[in-house]
A = this chain, B = another copy of it.
Amino acid sequence: MTKLPKLVVVGVGLIGGSFALALKARGVVGEVVGIGRSQKNLDEALAAGVIDRAATCDVPWTRELGDADLVLLAAPVGEFPALFAAMSGALGEGAIVTDAGSTKGDVVAAARAHLGVAMPRFVPAHPIAGAEHSGARAAFAALFEGRRAVLTPLPETDAHALARVRALWEACGAEIVTLDPARHDRILAAVSHLPHFLAAAYVAELAARSESSDLLGLAGTGFRDFTRIAASSPPMWRDIGLANREALRREIAAFRGALDVLDAALRDGDGQALAAMLETAAKARRAWGSRPGCG
Residue numbers of A with Cβ under 8 A of B are 78, 128-131, 147-148, 150, 177, 187-188, 190-192, 194-208, 212, 214-235, 237-239, 241-242, 245, 248-249, 252, 254-259, 261-263, 265-267, 269, 271, 274-275, 277-286, 288-289, 291, 294-295
Contact = CB atoms under 8 A, between A and B. Distances in A.
Contacts of A205: 254-255, 257-258
Given A150-B218, A220-B192, A266-B249, A285 B203 contact: yes
A150 to B, nearest CB: 7
B204 A281 contact: yes
Given A197-B262, A201-B258, A275-B235, A282 B230 contact: yes
| Max chain B C-beta neighbours (<10 A), residue from A130, A218, A269 | A218
Contacts of A289: 224, 231
Nearest to A207: B284
Interface of A is mostly: helix
Contact of A203 (B230, B261, B265, B284): B284
A231 B285 contact: yes
A259 B260 CA distance: 13
A222 B197 CA distance: 11
Contacts of A274: 237-238, 241-242
A226 B224 contact: no
Contact of A226 (B130, B229, B256, B295): B229
A256 B259 contact: yes
Nearest to A237: B278
A267 B252 CA distance: 12
